[in-house]
Amino acid sequence: EAQVTQNPRYLITVTGKKLTVTCSQNMNHEYMSWYRQDPGLGLRQIYYSMNVEVTDKGDVPEGYKVSRKEKRNFPLILESPSPNQTSLYFCASSWGLAGRETQYFGPGTRLLVL
């Protein structure tokens, strides 16, 4: 089954404790992206990647890191989480290099930073 998976689905952590949210897709997509969703603000792009070893900032990259060492995986790293990073996070992928095609979303990771 074609899908985007994220782990964990739910996470409660404390300020400053490094964490990683994994994202994996099995569709051989070049383009992958991370979004956060907050009430009243909609989904906002954090980082995106057009291919292996090619990543760039989206609209709200502060406090986040990403890497793309393999085509299928695109982990999101919070080196020192803060309460303002409490949010619902989505990973997405699509064909092509520029994210112009239909984007497929993972189920989301709900993060609470205390």
Partner 1 sequence: KQEVTQIPAALSVPEGENLVLNCSFTDSAIYNLQWFRQDPGKGLTSLLLIQSSQREQTSGRLNASLDKSSGRSTLYIAASQPGDSATYLCAALNYGGATNKLIFGTGTLLAVQP
Sites of contact with partner 1 (CB under 8 A)? 4, 35, 40-45, 48, 50, 56, 58-59, 90, 92, 98-108
Q: How far is the CB of 80 from partner 1 (least distance, A)?
A: 26
Q: How far is the CB of 76 from partner 1 (least distance, A)?
A: 15
> What is the rounded distance in angstroms from the CA atom of residue 10 to the CA atom of residue 28?
26
Q: How far is the CB of 110 from partner 1 (least distance, A)?
A: 9
Q: Which two tokens stand for residue 26?
A: 């099995």
Q: How far is the CB of 15 from partner 1 (least distance, A)?
A: 26
Pair 64, 112: CB distance under 8 Å = no
Q: Which is nearer to partner 1, 15 or 51 (CB)?
A: 51
- Taking alpha carbons only, the member of 7, 19, 53, 29 closest to residue 104 is 29
Q: Which is nearer to partner 1, 33 or 85 (CB)?
A: 33
Q: Which is nearer to partner 1, 81 or 106 (CB)?
A: 106
Q: Which two tokens stand for residue 80?
A: 């020192």
Q: Which two tokens stand for residue 71?
A: 């085509």
Pair 47, 106: CB distance under 8 Å = no
Q: Which is nearer to partner 1, 31 or 85 (CB)?
A: 31
